[in-house]
Amino acid sequence: MENDNTSKTFSEIIKQLKEFVIAVFDISRDSDKTATIEDIKSGIYMKGTSAWVLIFSILIASAGLNTGSAPVVIGAMLISPLMGPILGIGLSLGINNIDFLKKALTNFAVMVVLSLLTSFLFFSIPMFQNETNELINRTIPDVRDVIIAFSGGLALIVALSQRNKSLNTIAGVAIATALMPPLCTAGYGLATGKWHFFGGAMFLFSINTIFIASATFIIVRFLKFPYEAYADSNRRKRISQVISFFALAILVPSIYMFYGLYKKSDFTQKVTLLIEKVKKEQGILILDVNTDYTTKKIEFAVIGKSLSKDDISTFKQEMKQLGYEDCNFKVLQNAGNIETINKINEIESSFLSNQQLLVKKEAILLEKDKEIFELKNLLSVKKEKVFPFNDIAKEIKSLRPEIEEVTFSDAIKTNFSKTDTIPTFLIKWNKKVKTKEKEETSKTLQNWLRTKLKSDKIIIKEDH
């Protein structure tokens, strides 16, 4: 009897727990399908007030991207009406409404054209054409953008489907998915002729659009929104086929994009882990790492100990074990310079010691002086070989492409009690580079040259 009561009590607990979990995650209980459909239908149109609000918000976002101001860009995203047509596409696919799909696609096209045209005109003004990090960040999408777009789309349609709609959710999704900045960046690419900006930004915008529409479609079908009614059964069948085609045209690329961006992100992460391992084991400084998943190209510059062909082969084998075969490593290094300089310094030190030991013997001292003079001449010749100006200039250019000229000279300085020779590099920058960036880069290059050439006297100045 006691066991029966215990079993009954346990069953009741499980039942109550199940009901609690269902209540927590149930989104169908408070959904308002009819009102949601009407709200989305009324929000797709890009004309009149919506068109002007879109234009003004694009101008604000473009100005924010140009100045590198994230708060300004966020403010523009809050007032933009970009979500309407995209939600309309997902809803029309979910309820089999071909007429509404046509309207949603038409307004989506109007939205894209207006956005590109507005940002194109803004960035056509020369004073607004400088590259900023805010612009560059919108050209390289990765798998996280897919997750953000899909999650944002799910959150938005779930919030819209409820009787108590949350404006905070709509605003938050608009900021998180960031539909507007990629369109502005694409306009920048068109205005400046930088097609990699245009291509990368439009790719990011396409990712956001496709995954928001896909999320809308999925939730609409999950909540069992009513299909559009058609009196003609043949017409209903044709429309169902067309809608199914469009749904597949959206969902299939979504899966393909997700997989491609996942592999690209995974490749970059594996390369980063390998680089960190090399730094730790080899004790070298690695700068300017660039990766290209499409060609499996890995490029970086090495300062310090030189890497051998065997080291590169080991790296290729490690990448193969991580799942990426035929990786192409391009390592920028100047093998042998540091070792040669050290050897020459050892020779000079040895003969100076001998000179001190033989100072009392005039004949031997003269002989050693002659040898030292010859060695210094040899040292000077070797130093010229060890210091290949053209190679170093090319390395500097590869690290910072915005540098236009490099000049080297030995500056002689005196305070009238001591005279010293200061190796000096003069750098001529591209006019578009900002003063702060020049200062930070010059400091980094100076430290690099001092390490590379083993001289704490080296300085870098701007060539005006």
Name the nearest CA neighbour of 111 among 192, 43, 60. 43
Name the nearest CA neighbour of 250 among 89, 43, 380. 89
Confirm whether 15 is domain-assigned. Answer: no
Query: Which domain covers residue 355, as residue numbers?
Result: 335-387
For residue 410, which phi and psi values (nearest 5 degrees)?
-95, 110
Whether residues 328 and 340 fall in one domain: no
CATH number of the domain that residue 205 is part of: 1.20.1080
Confirm whether 370 is domain-assigned. Answer: yes
Confirm whether 25 is domain-assigned. Answer: no
CATH number of the domain that residue 404 is part of: 3.30.70.1350
pLDDT score of 243: 60
296 Rama sector, left if φ>0, alpha if ψ -120 to 50, beta otherwise: left
pLDDT score of 337: 44
Whether residues 130 and 208 fall in one domain: yes
**In angstroms, how far is the first alpha carbon of the chain from the final one?**
97
Amino acid found at 318: E
Whether residues 377 and 396 fall in one domain: no
Whether residues 380 and 398 fall in one domain: no
pLDDT score of 210: 83
Whether residues 37 and 127 fall in one domain: yes
Confirm whether 236 is domain-assigned. Answer: no
Confirm whether 340 is domain-assigned. Answer: yes
Given a cut of 90, whether residue 425 has pLDDT beyond it is no
CATH number of the domain that residue 323 is part of: 3.30.300
Q: Which of 174, 196, 228 delimits the end of a domain?
A: 228
Whether residues 177 and 189 fall in one domain: yes
Confirm whether 276 is domain-assigned. Answer: yes
pLDDT score of 113: 93
Whether residues 207 and 353 fall in one domain: no
Query: What integer is the mean pLDDT of 284-302?
Result: 77
Domain count, the chain: 4
Whether residues 103 and 178 fall in one domain: yes
Q: Which of 228, 259, 292 delimits the end of a domain?
A: 228
Whether residues 188 and 273 fall in one domain: no
Whether residues 434 and 316 fall in one domain: no
Confirm whether 24 is domain-assigned. Answer: no
Confirm whether 56 is domain-assigned. Answer: yes
Whether residues 88 and 224 fall in one domain: yes
Per DSSP, the residues of 118-179 read HHHHHHTSGGG----HHHHTTS---HHHHHHHHHHHHHHHHHHTBSS--HHHHHHHHHHHT-
Whether residues 429 and 404 fall in one domain: yes
Helices (H) and strands (E) in the chain, counts: 17, 6
pTM of the model: 0.56
Q: Which of 198, 228, 258 delimits the end of a domain?
A: 228
pLDDT score of 177: 65
Identify the residue whose tokens are 């067309």: 242
Query: What integer is the mean pLDDT of 331-354?
Result: 59
Contact 427, 406 (CB under 8 A): yes
Percent of the chain with pLDDT over 70: 76
Reported as a single tens digit per residue, the pLDDT across 180-230 is 888 898 999 999 888 888 888 888 888 888 888 888 888 888 888 887 766
